[in-house]
Structure 1
């Protein structure tokens, strides 16, 4: 039953996303070689915010939903080694709204809201959720070097359109 609820909710979110989504963002369910769609895994691209060190980058992120979605949060993941204080070396995003229910997550949060929150997380890392020691220390102790590394990463993920 739970998996059915998750798939119905994700199908509706996909429909709404296709009708209205933020400019420059991409989010679509995974498509298998046979053409079938896997609503439980979405491939996304997040544009860097204009006038920020992240500008010009188009950052790939995957969202993995469990059978218990929307009652449990999805797991968002950038590529392994993504440079950011709130992203684990594995790429997993550490964002308060993605924590278990009662600790930030609510079943009313949508894919669109998650994706809109990511550029803000990129620009303003949370010192409360240190996921990556090197980038966290650089952000706190040598902000100029941190910003240089962010701009370097933006060049690593250019827009493809």
Structure 2
């Protein structure tokens, strides 16, 4: 299977952390970064983070590819979907922005095809602060809109 964009090799540590997610290990957040000199995808961090903490764990001064298992309960059912979050701060260098944007599709393809993880949502943000529990809940369980039908106005003099 081919993907568009640039494909960079993954470090062993990055692949091991992603495999740990698949096997249901303690890790629920894996962050990947591009090593600009080596042109490889490397592990920037792996941790167990609650949704309220993960915005503090993801770097806000450099681009990141983050994979987060969003454990939550909805209507009495426990769910744990995998979310891919691409963050790229506005003040990142142009070369970083271009390389991250060009490799995003290949990173997702590698994680799904080689690591066996199934990404259920893909999000993008300039800062990790833009993504919180409320946004993730809305992404997975959008509120149904109540549609009202057009009602013809009553004729004058009638009730």
User: Considering only CA atoms, is the larger Rg found in Structure 1 or Structure 2?
Assistant: 2
TM-score (norm 1): 0.31
Higher strand share: 2
Higher helix share: 1
TM-score (norm 2): 0.31
